[in-house]
Structure 1
Amino acid sequence: MRILHTSDWHIGRTFHGHSTVGALETVLSAVVGLVRERSIDLVIVAGDVFDSTMPAAEHYGVLGRTLSSLRDAGAAVVVTSGNHDSAARLGYQAEFAQLAGIHVLTRPERHDVPVELQDEHGPVNLYGIPYLEPSLVRHLYPEATLRRHSDVLAFAMDRIRADAAERGGRSVVVSHCFATGAAGSDVERDITAGGLDYVPLATFDGPDYVALGHIHGRATLSERVRYSGAPLHYSFSEADKPRGAWLVDLGAEGLETVEWVALPVPRPLARLTGTLDELITSPEYAEYADHWIAATITDDTRPLDAMPKLQRRFPWCAQLEHRPHTVHDDGHASYASRIEEKSDVEIVAGFLEHVRNGRGPSEAEAGLVDDAFSALRAAEATR
Structure 2
Amino acid sequence: MRILHTSDWHLGRTFHGHSTHEALSGVLAALPDLVREHDVDVVVVAGDVFDSSVPSAESLQTLERVLLGLRDTGATIVVISGNHDSPTRLGFQSVWAERAGVHVRTHPERLDEPVVVADAHGDVELYPVPFLEPALLRHRVGDVPMASQADALRWALGRVHAAVEQRRGALADSGAAGGPAATRAVVVSHCFAVGVSPEAPTIDVERDITAGGIDLVPLDVFDGIDLTLLGHVHGRAELSPRVRYSGAPLHFSFSEARKPRGAWLIDLGPRRPGSDDELAEVAATWVDLPVPRPLAELRGTLRELLDDAAHEFARDHWVKAVVTDSIRPLDSMRRLQTRFAHCALLEFDPEDRAHRTGATYGQRVRGARGDVDLVNAFLEHVRGAGLDEHERGVVVDALADLDGAGR
TM bucket (normalised to shorter chain) is: 0.7 to 0.9
Which residue in the other structure is 1:171 paired with? Answer: 185
1:252 offset after TM fit, Å? 2.2
Which structure has more RCO (C-alpha within 8 Å, separation ≥ 6)?
A: 1
State which of 240, 261, 268 in structure 1 corresponds to 2:287.
261
Contact 1:35–1:74 under 8 Å retained in 2: no
Rounded to whole Å, the distance in 1 between the matches of 2:231 and 2:221 is: 15
TM-score by length of 2: 0.79
Shift of the 122–271 alpha-carbon distance from structure 1 to 2, 3 Å rule, reads: same
Superposition pairs of residues 147-296 of structure 1, within 5 angstroms: 147-168=147-168, 169-183=183-197, 184=200, 185=203, 187-192=205-210, 197-253=215-271, 254-296=280-322
What per-residue deviation string (whole Å, max 9, x for no partner) do you get for residues 44-69 of structure 1? 00000000000011100000000000
8 Å contact 1:271–1:295 — kept in the other structure?
A: yes
Quote the residue 2:77 is aligned against: 77
The equivalent residue for 1:302 is 328
Alignment of structure 1 residues 130-141 onto 2, 5 Å: 130-141=130-141
Alignment partner of 1:211: what SS? strand
Q: Deviations over 1:118-142 (max 9, x none)?
A: 1122111100111000011111111
Letter in 1 for 2:263: A
Q: Shift in Å at residue 332 of structure 1? A: 5.9
Is 1:57 the counterpart of 2:57? The answer is: yes
Distance 1:69 1:86, change over 3 A: same
Matched AA of 1:212: L
Work out whether 1:319 is the aligned partner of 2:358: no
Report what 2:179 is aligned to: none
TM-score of the aligned structures, taking structure 1 as reference length:
0.84
- State the distance in 1 between where 2:205 and 2:165 align: 38
Return the alpha-carbon distance in structure 1 between the equivalents of residues 222 and 323 of structure 2: 46
- The alignment partner of 2:70 has SS state of helix
Q: How does 1:92-171 map to 2 (within 5 A)?
A: 92-168=92-168, 169-171=183-185
Q: Distance in 2 between matches of 1:64 and 1:87?
A: 16
The structure with the larger Rg is 2
Residues in 2 aligned to 1:304 and 1:17: alpha-carbon distance in whole angstroms = 22
Partners of 2:130 and 2:322 lie apart in 1 by 40
Deviation at 1:186, TM superposition (A): 5.9
CA contact (8 A) 1:187 1:235 kept: no
SS of the residue 2:252 aligns to: coil
Aligned 8 A contact 2:204 2:235 in 1 = no
Q: Which runs of 5+ in 2 are unaligned?
A: 169-182, 272-279, 362-407
Which residue pairs with 1:44 in the alignment?
44
Distance change (3 Å), C-alpha of 1:110 and 1:278 = same
Question: What is the CA-CA distance between 1:39 and the residue it aligns to?
Answer: 0.6
Task: Provide, for residues 12-50 of structure 1, a one-character-per-residue CA deviation record: whole Å limited to 9, x for no partner.
Answer: 000011111111111111111100100101110000000
Partner of 1:370: none
Partners of 2:161 and 2:68 in 1: CA distance: 32
Superposition CA RMSD, Å: 1.7
Give distance in 2, aligned partners of 1:303 and 1:190.
33
* Structure 1 Cα separation of the partners of residues 76 and 297 of structure 2: 39
Provide, for residues 265-297 of structure 1, a one-character-per-residue CA deviation record: whole Å limited to 9, x for no partner. 100111000001111111101011010000001
- Name the residue aligned to 1:17: 17
CA contact (8 A) 2:254 2:320 kept: yes
Q: 1:330 aligns with which of 358, 361, 366?
A: 358
* Structure 1 residue 166: Cα displacement: 2.2
Question: What SS does structure 1 have at the residue aligned with 2:306?
Answer: helix
Question: Residue 264 of structure 2 contacts residue 286 of structure 2 at CA under 8 Å; is this kept in 1?
Answer: yes
The CA deviation string for residues 47-102 of structure 1, in whole angstroms up to 9 with x for no partner, is 00000000011100000000000011121100000000000110011100001100
Corresponding letter in the other structure for 2:358: D
Residue 352 of structure 1 corresponds to which residue in structure 2? none
Q: Deviations over 1:325-366 (max 9, x none)?
A: 122343569xxxxxxxxxxxxxxxxxxxxxxxxxxxxxxxxx
Q: Is the 8 A contact 2:79 2:103 kept in 1?
A: yes
Mean CA deviation greater in 163-172 or 184-193: 184-193
Q: 1:332 to 1:243 in 2, by over 3 A?
A: farther
Partners of 1:211 and 1:332 lie apart in 2 by: 50
Query: Which segments of structure 1 move beyond 6 Å, counting only runs of 4 or more?
Result: none
Unaligned runs of 5+ in 1: 334-383
Tell me, in whole angstroms, the C-alpha distance in 1 between the residues paired with 2:357 and 2:98: 61
For residues 70 and 360 of structure 2, the distance between their equivalents in structure 1, rounded to whole angstroms, comes to 54
